[in-house]
Structure 1
Amino acid sequence: MFTIAFMKYEYRRDFDITYSQADRWLKLDLVNATSIVQEMNTEYFKTFACDNISCKERDNALWVITKTRLHFVRVPVWNDRISGVTGTIKTHGYKTELDTSFVSGSSLSFVARQELFVIDASSREPRRIDTLAYPQDMEYVSESLPLRFFRIKEELGEENLVYTDHFRLSDIDYSNHVNNVVYVRYILNALTPEFFSSRRIVDFEIQYRHECYEGHELGVYRRDIDENTMDFQIKSDGNIAIDVRIVHESC
């Protein structure tokens, strides 16, 4: 049985997996799984008035997600109810790391580990967390699983280009750049139905390098590292915008 102790600084919420969140196999798709995680961390910060709206209005600062890793034990399906909990693993200087876990019944469904930085809303330069109205008595949670972020370093070449597109108005969020979850959709569009018919994503990690904006052209690149691992990049405006690693196995 998977159990979690209650902490002062944590956020809990139940989700019912809806038909619109499911893929053609009625499983929670990766875009919506990432969206649920982002919803959890946003509402978590809101519980102690450190969400982006509060930070921008009070401190002229914004949180930006730099890394998100999802590990799937069992992918929820349509009509499942999952219970999520988010807490802080550690905070240091400019960054913090969050742990978000989801259970269905008494079984662990999936876990997310995230790294976030604070930037100045005007200059876009890094800010120390202690320049915000951040809790001085923050309690830290134990990680649900010992997840570590991947080291994704090598730039993919033009031989790895899958397709090109442009970022659209509907891709932009409150921070005036492309929303973090939007990139996941562009990555999935570089895969095929045959992949999802025969393979199951175990780990998905996205690392954000550069902000992107409406109208920018983008290129999606993909390379198979081995039979169970794929790396992706999205390049835009001459920069690597994101790195992605997917680890998969047979269904």
Structure 2
Amino acid sequence: MIGYFEHELTVLPGCADADGLMSIHGVFGAFMDIAARHASLLGVGMNDMAKRGLFWVTARTKVHLIRRPAMGETVTVQTWPDPPSRIRGDRGYRIVGGGEVLVQGKTEWAVVDIENGSLQQFRDIYPPELEFCTPPALETPFVRVPDKFEGVEPYYSYEVRSTDIDVGHHMNNTAYIRALLSSFSNEALRAMDVHDIDVVYRASCYEGETLDFYKKPLDGGGCDIRMARGDQTILLARMV
């Protein structure tokens, strides 16, 4: 069993931004969707895991944007899992167009017991015949975003909406990215010219809750962002 999967994707208006490019949250969504498809083919999709009393948890995601494809452009989205450690496993992603890699990414996953929330070992998660045949999509390590925002005032607040909620009844991982981007104007996003995003997921959010956003500029450009529910950190991100 080859641990590699790909499919074609045409950038349609629904996943394009104000500049006619595949939106950043559209990139995150494409990676989430292909991971779900591939996991089901490997017998470790959401329903398969639920039958075992387990579910997948996204710990963190890293995306490197070389060139975002334009609306109407057809690209190939690729994914494969890397050999896991004892309790963590990475999955790599690429978006390829015109023979060039346009976007690279990876997500660190964990497996949790549905009943008690305890971390489970990866040892028996993937099929034993699975071949880990491809090198990592992104060699750059995950960034450790420091949770140090003392003295920083919120610059934005966001109420979790019904449209942010997924089948798990909490805020979908890509909805956090959409909310994060919505805290900036299009003019600001163009000026930032983001090429690298690291996201650390700390806790779940639910409909009607309010998230406060805190921002710290980085030397050399970019910023760290904290989403918080009261005093609890929900998400940390670095955009460069």
5+ residue gaps in structure 1?
1-6
Provide the rounded CA distance (Å) in 2 between the counterparts of 1:120 and 1:131: 14
Provide the rounded CA distance (Å) in 1 between the counterparts of 2:164 and 2:88: 25
| DSSP 3-state at the match of 1:67 | strand
TM-score by length of 2: 0.93
- 1:133-152 aligned within 5 A: 134-140=126-132, 141-152=134-145
Contact 1:113 1:147 in 2 (8 A): no
Provide the rounded CA distance (Å) in 2 between the counterparts of 1:40 and 1:158: 40
Q: Which residue of 2 aligns with 1:116?
A: 109
Q: Cα RMSD between the aligned structures?
A: 1.6
Cα gap change, 1:172 to 1:46, in 2 (>3 Å): same
Give the alignment partner of residue 47 of structure 2, picking from 46, 53, 56. 53
Provide the rounded CA distance (Å) in 1 between the counterparts of 2:194 and 2:221: 9
Provide the rounded CA distance (Å) in 2 between the counterparts of 1:124 and 1:215: 24
Contact 2:106 2:138 in 1 (8 A): no
Provide the rounded CA distance (Å) in 2 between the counterparts of 1:143 and 1:131: 21
The one-letter code sitting in structure 1 at the alignment partner of 2:24 is L
- 1:8-87 aligned within 5 A: 8-56=2-50, 58-87=51-80
TM-score by length of 1: 0.89
Give the Å deviation of 1:168.
Answer: 2.2
Give the Å deviation of 1:159.
Answer: 2.5
Q: Which runs of 4+ in 1 moved over 3 A?
A: none
Provide the rounded CA distance (Å) in 2 between the counterparts of 1:198 and 1:229: 10
Could you say which structure has the higher strand fraction? 1
Q: Which residue of 2 aligns with 1:242?
A: 235
Provide the rounded CA distance (Å) in 2 between the counterparts of 1:160 and 1:8: 49
Give a deviation string over 1:155-202, Cα, whole Å, max 9, x none: 224534112232122222122221100101111122222223333211
The count of residues paired between Structure 1 and Structure 2 equals 239
